[in-house]
Amino acid sequence: MIAQCHSTTEERRQSIQSAIDATKPAAERNRLGQFATPYPLAVDIACYVESLIGRSRGSIRFADPSIGSGSFFSAALTVYGRKRMESAVGVELDPVFCEAARDLWADAGLEVVQGDFSRVVANGSRPAAPNLILANPPYVRHHHLDRADKERLQRLAYKMTGVEVNGLAGLYVYFLLLATAWMEDGGYAAWLIPSEFMDVNYGTALKRFLTDRVTLTRAHRFDPDDVQFGDALVSSVVLVFRKSPPPSGHESEFTFGGTIAEPHACERISLERLRESRKWTGYPGHAKNDRHTLSDGNGPTLSDFFRVQRGIATGCNKFFVLERADAKRRGIPAKYLRPILPSPRHLKVTVIDADADGSPVIDRQLCVIDCDLPEHVVEQRHPGLWEYLQTAEALGVKDGYLVGKRMPWYKQEQREPAPFLCTYMGRGSDDKRPFRFIWNRSAAIGTNLYLMLYPLSGLAAMLRKHPERGADVHELLGRVTGHELRGEGRVYGGGLNKIEPSELGRISAAPFVVRWPEFESAVQRQAELFV
């Protein structure tokens, strides 16, 4: 009887939806992002989420942050049943849809809040946190958002999630972040959103959020050639995730074409791979995928000019890194000490000069113990070093994973000093750069608090011939903006930014080719090798 009643209400909903759509010019629907979710798709999505939650999981507190006429609520009633829905809330800006949703669904237990979701969610008296969100947020593009509103949204998203949203992002990016912050920990969400973010720079922060902050279970992209759901879905993706940190070794299922229940292509992708991938629409890597491609091909990047590698991990800086003067005092032979830079916090300069023996001319001169002699030889020949090594036991240094698998345990990874370094962790918003580039003219290496940039072929040859051009290279690296660095890097709660070697490598190096046009053909040749 209830099912019968509900299907009549769903029929009424569909005719009300069509009637409202017909009264609105396309431009207005576009501006407000008003393209309703076809009911069969809403049911498919609800069913898929149900398969994750499992029937046993108790009651559902449903929310849709932009409810429209309530396609998702209707699907939720069908799939989960009224009894299981402990509460249900929908937010809607447009008074016409708001009234329609109340009229249709109030009796079925839906509370409809009229207003802008981004304000409702920021309000102290917002509705209680849901544990299930099904949403098709407004697709409003960034140029339809006015400047003050965009800045408010950026501040709010940052405050509630620690994510710095790029100004080119559409409204749906803010919706997803804010609604997830609102949702209960452990809750499930399904979002029908444009797939554009998967490939563009402004989507980087959202992609990071999806790989690092929630457990992304599924990303299903519709086939543009598949007309089953009409034009509005041609470039859409359904994301399904759980609000919990991803378990280690987690893989997300990327599917393409067909339906959610029966996709045409499917591939499980590890989070590591996703984090490394600039473009997500290339997944699943299946011939049926319309975006299946191996190359990014967007002009020269830093990786065309540098091999970027994290600095060395000593296994215990406190033990292996010493003040140079202290090491000398202890009688540790200079031969087994390599100059190493202090942590970025203690490095005040961005150009490091060298003294006669290659040591950096900086306030705190440090060195790292690096010796390949077996212990009995050290004991016989180098009492100062031997005595120092004996202090490791009490500090538990040898129990560490890295130190434990080294032979001998005080031999470091062998690395050449890099002429350029980049700090890899830092804060900074707007124009302030979170990371610094350093020109290193000394023989010092860096710890893993730095990324080391080793010039490749053409650039390396030029610098050998004209070492003074290091200053130009440093100046060009200094032109990389804070936005670019943050766009490629990742941000953690509280606004701490980090950047990985591959992410730094993806930053545009177009200014290098402008400065030295002779590199253009070399970069192109390298790119062709990978096509």
Ligand X SMILES: C[S@@+](CC[C@H](N)C(=O)[O-])C[C@H]1O[C@@H](n2cnc3c(N)ncnc32)[C@H](O)[C@@H]1O
Using H for helix, E for strand and C for coil, what is the string for 190-250?
A: EEEEEHHHHCCHHHHHHHHHHHHCCEEEEEEECCCCCCCCCHHHCCEEEEEEECCCCCCCC
Cis peptide preceding 374, ω within 30 of 0: no
Return the SS3 of 337: strand
Piece in contact with ligand X (CB under 6 A), picked from 68-76, 313-321, 413-421, 468-476: 68-76
**Least distance in Å: CB of 475 to ligand X?**
44
Residue 112 interacts with ligand X (CB under 6 A): yes or no: no
Residue 426 interacts with ligand X (CB under 6 A): yes or no: no
HSE-CB for 322 with a 13 A CA cutoff? 21
Residue 97 interacts with ligand X (CB under 6 A): yes or no: yes
Piece in contact with ligand X (CB under 6 A), picked from 91-99, 233-241, 435-443, 505-513: 91-99
Termini Cα distance of the chain: 61
Instruction: Give whichever of 50 and 92 is closer to ligand X, judged by the CB atom.
Output: 92
Q: Measured in whole angstroms, how far is the alpha carbon of residue 323 from the centre of its chain?
A: 37
**Least distance in Å: CB of 85 to ligand X?**
16
- Beta bridge partners, 175, equal none
Residue 66 interacts with ligand X (CB under 6 A): yes or no: yes
* Residue 11 to residue 9: CA distance in whole angstroms: 5
Instruction: Give whichever of 20 and 403 is closer to ligand X, judged by the CB atom.
Output: 20
**Least distance in Å: CB of 14 to ligand X?**
11
Residue 91 interacts with ligand X (CB under 6 A): yes or no: yes
**Least distance in Å: CB of 20 to ligand X?**
9
Per CB under 6 A, contacts with ligand X among 458-497 are: none
* Residue 17 to residue 424: CA distance in whole angstroms: 51
- Go through 58-94 and write b for each residue having 16 or more CB atoms within 10 A of its CB, e for each that does not: eebbbbbbbbbbbbbbbbbbbbbeeebbebbbbbbbb
Instruction: Give whichever of 167 and 285 is closer to ligand X, judged by the CB atom.
Output: 167
Residue 44 interacts with ligand X (CB under 6 A): yes or no: no
**Least distance in Å: CB of 77 to ligand X?**
14
Residue 34 interacts with ligand X (CB under 6 A): yes or no: yes
* Residue 439 to residue 450: CA distance in whole angstroms: 12
Strand order through the sheet with 490-492? 425-426, 496-498, 490-492
**Least distance in Å: CB of 368 to ligand X?**
55
Piece in contact with ligand X (CB under 6 A), picked from 48-56, 60-68, 213-221, 459-467: 60-68
Contact at 8 Å (CB) between 477 and 484? no
Tokens, residue 316: 């215990």
Cis peptide preceding 408, ω within 30 of 0: yes
Indicate the residue whose CB is closest to ligand X.
68
Among 10, 44, 50, 94, binds ligand X (CB under 6 A): 94
**Least distance in Å: CB of 32 to ligand X?**
5
Helix (H) or strand (E) holding 522: helix 519-529
**Least distance in Å: CB of 8 to ligand X?**
19
Q: For the chain, give me the number of helices (H) and strands (E)?
A: 23, 20
Instruction: Give whichever of 146 and 431 is closer to ligand X, judged by the CB atom.
Output: 146
Q: How far is CA 42 from CA 22, 168, 260, in A?
A: 21, 28, 10
Instruction: Give whichever of 68 and 300 is closer to ligand X, judged by the CB atom.
Output: 68
- Go through 253-287 and write b for each residue having 16 or more CB atoms within 10 A of its CB, e for each that does not: bbbbbbbbeebebbbebebeebeebbbbbbbbebe
Residue 93 interacts with ligand X (CB under 6 A): yes or no: yes
Piece in contact with ligand X (CB under 6 A), picked from 50-58, 62-70, 366-374, 381-389: 62-70
Piece in contact with ligand X (CB under 6 A), picked from 90-98, 102-110, 217-225, 240-248: 90-98
Return the SS3 of 469: helix
**Least distance in Å: CB of 74 to ligand X?**
9
**Least distance in Å: CB of 291 to ligand X?**
23
**Least distance in Å: CB of 92 to ligand X?**
5
Residue 75 interacts with ligand X (CB under 6 A): yes or no: no
Instruction: Give whichever of 140 and 302 is closer to ligand X, judged by the CB atom.
Output: 140
Torsion-angle region of 443 (φ positive above 0: left; ψ -120 to 50: alpha; else: beta): alpha
Per CB under 6 A, contacts with ligand X among 116-175 are: 116-118, 136, 138
Residue 71 interacts with ligand X (CB under 6 A): yes or no: yes
Piece in contact with ligand X (CB under 6 A), picked from 86-94, 284-292, 354-362, 510-518: 86-94
The residue ranges that bind ligand X (CB under 6 A) are: 32-37, 64, 66-68, 71-72, 91-94, 97, 116-118, 136, 138
